[in-house]
């Protein structure tokens, strides 16, 4: 017989299960979402975030990183224990209605009550660097192992985790298969030469090998078998860039779609994906805006931009618009960051059909291809005040045309044979895109430095831990 648990008792039953010896210790997030009855004995574990005192009463703010919220511990009675900010502790006391501002409940600890107890699990030195006072991002970057405990950094990680789950839901809803392409490759996807070469590769693999700059080529092979495939995986670029927008090790969300012979459906899908994750975040904004010291107006402004109207321009139309404002650009010129921000000043914009000379070898010719001004069926998604977030294209699916393009780009045809041969074995029109994952999270967080969104950032001259 299956026993139905009344809704009012479910939090209590869950809590009782979590308190059993076989279960994990409950997180503060779980304790706050399913609170124990007032007057019962309650135990919290976490770090001391701050300490305050008032006459014969002391106050501790306890956090464990699972949520931006804290549990306030009130120390009453005589002979109170001494705590330091940063210590990991366990405190057991009475769960009570709070008389102060902020939280409506608190944990009361009285050393004279035999049912109450505390333990300092891990002490900290006197010069422990993360104190209650406001801490700058530049200072946190000097603490590669401790910065994760700062409230704002923790909020970045929780936001990133949430967005990953939303992407999983989105792709599942659209019948995609999540796959794991290799990180070690024998080919340079972009053909730009910005790869990390593996030192022992020739001896081990009997040929040169590199850390991947993009999993796209392998993802194409997989998607042609599965119809639709996506991945979220690390990529590596040996690019000598020290800006706040670039990393040497970063994550890319990449997707490939079979039976795609027009750019418009790919643009529509990309817009729908970005808006879906943002919309889900807006629904949870109270949870993901808390715990950050960043400007909430900036964050909400960026969310509004994404959920608003998006423009679509061809590269030639973008040149006309920029030149009307004094840019003096000619066909074949790259768009720099200032140009991208100018185009996206009032909202996100797709720029499509770039010159062949500016894009990799695998892109399909534009529908309105011209020998005078040859372009490919591709796009960049540009965001306000930020620049490029997503790049994608239709992929060349004709074998002879792809081989010709490979040769024109001085790529080794033998190394690329596994890829080009797909076009001789039941070729399919297809396309896809790649999105810089840290860039997406950075933008939605209202922040501007991508390195703060990564636990241990890797960039030129930066590998501290």
Pairing of strands 177-178, 117-122: unpaired
Three-class HEC string of 3-61: CCCCHHHHHHHHHHHHCCCCCCCCCHHHHHHCCCCCCCEEEEEEEEEEEEEECCEEEEE
| CATH match of 38-133 with 2.40.50.140 | yes
Spatial contact of 415 and 187, defined as CB atoms under 8 Å apart: yes
Tell which wins on pLDDT, 245 or 260.
260
pLDDT tens per residue, range 34-87: 888 999 999 999 999 999 887 788 999 999 999 999 999 999 988 888 999 999
Residue 414: pLDDT band (50, 70, 90) is: confident
Separation CA 281–CA 303 (nearest Å): 9
pLDDT tens per residue, range 361-412: 999 999 989 999 999 999 999 999 899 999 999 999 999 999 999 999 888 8
pLDDT tens per residue, range 273-285: 999 999 999 999 8
pLDDT tens per residue, range 144-196: 999 999 988 999 999 999 999 999 999 999 999 999 999 999 876 665 568 89
Q: Across all residues in the chain, what is the average pLDDT?
A: 90
Instruction: Give the count of beta carbons closer than 10 Å to the beta carbon of residue 370.
Output: 10
Spatial contact of 157 and 111, defined as CB atoms under 8 Å apart: no
Q: Output b/e per residue, 322-339; b: 16+ Cβ within 10 A.
A: beeeebebeeebebeeeb
The domains spanning 38-133 and 147-452 adopt the same CATH topology = no
Q: What are the CA-CA distances from residue 179 to residues 123, 166, 219, 286 (Å)?
A: 43, 17, 8, 33
pLDDT tens per residue, range 290-313: 656 567 888 999 999 999 999 999
Q: Which residue has the tokens 């790529």?
A: 411
* In the predicted structure, residue 422 carries a pLDDT above the cut 50: yes
| CATH match of 147-452 with 3.30.930.10 | yes
Residue 1: pLDDT band (50, 70, 90) is: very low
Tell me the domain boundaries of the chain: 38-133, 147-452
Cα 245 versus chain centre, distance:
13
Residue 8: pLDDT band (50, 70, 90) is: low
The pLDDT assigned to 187 comes to 77
Average pLDDT for 241-253: 87
* In the predicted structure, residue 233 carries a pLDDT above the cut 70: yes
Average pLDDT for 214-222: 96
């Amino acid at each position: 017989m299956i026993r139905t648990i009344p809704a009012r008792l479910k939090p209590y039953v869950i809590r009782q299960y979590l308190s059993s010896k076989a279960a994990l210790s409950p997180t503060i997030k779980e304790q706050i979402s399913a609170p124990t009855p007032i007057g019962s004995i309650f135990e919290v574990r976490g770090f001391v975030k701050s300490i305050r005192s008032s006459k014969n009463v002391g106050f501790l703010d306890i956090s464990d990183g699972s949520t931006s919220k804290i549990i306030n511990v009130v120390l009453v009675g005589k002979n109170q224990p001494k705590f330091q900010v940063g210590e990991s502790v366990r405190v057991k006391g009475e769960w009570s209605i709070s008389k102060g501002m902020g939280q409506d409940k608190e944990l009361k600890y009285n050393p004279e009550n035999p049912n109450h107890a505390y333990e300092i699990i891990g002490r900290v030195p006197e010069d422990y660097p993360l104190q209650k006072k406001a801490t700058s991002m530049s200072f946190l970057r000097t603490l590669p192992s401790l910065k994760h405990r700062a409230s704002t950094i923790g909020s970045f990680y929780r936001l990133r985790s949430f967005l990953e789950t939303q992407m999983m839901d989105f792709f599942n809803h659209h019948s995609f298969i999540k796959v794991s392409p290799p990180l070690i490759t024998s080919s340079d996807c972009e053909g730009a030469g910005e790869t990390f070469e593996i030192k022992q590769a020739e001896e081990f693999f009997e040929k040169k090998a590199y850390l991947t700059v993009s999993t796209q080529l392998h993802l194409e092979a997989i998607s042609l078998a599965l119809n639709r495939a996506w991945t979220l995986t690390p990529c590596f670029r040996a690019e000598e860039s020290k800006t706040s927008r670039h990393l040497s090790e970063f994550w890319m969300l990449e997707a490939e779609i079979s039976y795609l012979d027009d750019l418009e459906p790919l643009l529509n899908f990309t817009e729908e994906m970005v808006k879906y994750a943002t919309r889900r975040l807006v629904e949870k904004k109270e949870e993901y805006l808390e715990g950050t010291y960043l400007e909430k107006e900036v964050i909400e402004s960026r969310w509004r931009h994404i959920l608003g109207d998006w423009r679509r321009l061809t590269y030639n139309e973008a040149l006309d618009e920029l030149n009307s404002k004094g840019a003096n650009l000619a066909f074949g010129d790259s768009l720099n960051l200032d140009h991208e921000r100018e185009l996206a000043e009032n909202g996100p914009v797709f720029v499509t059909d770039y010159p062949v000379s500016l894009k990799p070898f695998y892109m399909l010719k534009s529908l309105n291809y011209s020998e005078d001004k040859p372009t490919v069926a591709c796009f960049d998604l540009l965001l306000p005040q930020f620049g490029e977030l997503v790049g994608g294209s239709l992929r060349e699916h004709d074998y002879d045309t792809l081989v010709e393009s490979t040769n024109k780009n001085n790529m080794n045809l033998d190394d690329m044979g596994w890829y080009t041969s797909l076009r001789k074995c039941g070729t399919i029109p297809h396309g896809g895109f790649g999105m810089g994952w840290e860039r997406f999270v950075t933008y939605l967080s209202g922040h501007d430095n991508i390195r703060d969104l990564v636990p241990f950032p890797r960039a030129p001259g930066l590998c501290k831990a």
